Amino acid sequence: MSKVPAIELNDGVSIPQLGFGVFQIKPDETAAAVKTALEIGYRHIDTAEMYGNEREVGQGIREAGLDRADVFITSKLNNGFHKPDDARRAFDKTLEALRSDYVDLFLIHWPLPTLYDGDFVSTWKVLEEFARDGRARSIGVSNFQVAHLERLAKETDTVPSVNQIELHPYFGNNEVRAYGREHGIATEAWAPIAQGKVLDDPVINRVADARGKSAAQVVLRWHIQRGDIVFPKSVTPARVEENFQLFDFELDDSDMDAISALDKGEAGRNGPNPDKFDYVPG
């Protein structure tokens, strides 16, 4: 079994650099997918209340027969629960759904600067409570821009351990990533293969052919070598296995540079702009 490297976060918590994502996996497929991933060797599962499958993530972990302490679980606060009391209730429901008395990492899913009078600071202070009482081993954010991170630095006591952002060869998100590096905030990459859009790229396929690997493996390896935390998603066991096989090869500097040069800046963004995103599930 390949050994997944771990990254030490700024609070001393150790997080597996490769995880298994469950975004857009249907609830009735999630438990089996998680069980398969854990049997392959994954030990980091990334979910969210908004995904609607936290309960099935917990079920999959139990069905795999692993001790809770052996699996790193990340979940996220849904957009409709940013007010402090709502955030507390939502977190309780996350723990109940997972059937766990703690999560390893809990994130604010989106900053929502155009909602709640732009107040994500009060929300963050509630996450600080979860960290103090031990129900969240580590706390972080997702989709936060530099201005959002700077505001947290000025108005709160805790630097996020993680910022989970859209990041892939076509969208390097360089300013946010650089800020994280300068301030000890680990970068997690969602949509690490741009929802498949980068897999037909001739540069990536040239590297893949030279290495005898798939395009997806090459892109995921690019993330790993840059120090990103990454969690590909699939319900196909063979693909889940393939995505795990990232540690028996390396990309050289020319490979890394060629892939990084594919960055299209803001034009490469697939997902919503965090400065404008205001979706609240009904």
Residue 168 marked as a ligand binder = no
Ordered DSSP codes for 7-42:
EE-TTS-EEESB-EE-TT--HHHHHHHHHHHHHHT-
Instruction: Determine whether 279 is an active site residue.
Output: no
The Cβ of residue 6 has, within 10 Å, a number of other Cβ atoms equal to 16
Name the active-site residue from 42, 51, 170, 179.
51
Longest CA–CA separation in the chain, Å:
54
d(CA 261, CA 257): 6
For the record, the structure tokens of 102 come out as 């703690």
For the record, the structure tokens of 60 come out as 């999959």
d(CA 271, CA 252): 30
d(CA 185, CA 79): 22
Across the chain, the runs of DSSP E, i.e. the strands, are: 6-8, 14-16, 20-21, 44-46, 72-77, 103-108, 136-142, 162-166, 186-190, 229-230
Residue 158: helix, strand or coil by DSSP? coil
Annotated binding-site members for substrate: 109
Q: Which residues are catalytic?
A: 51
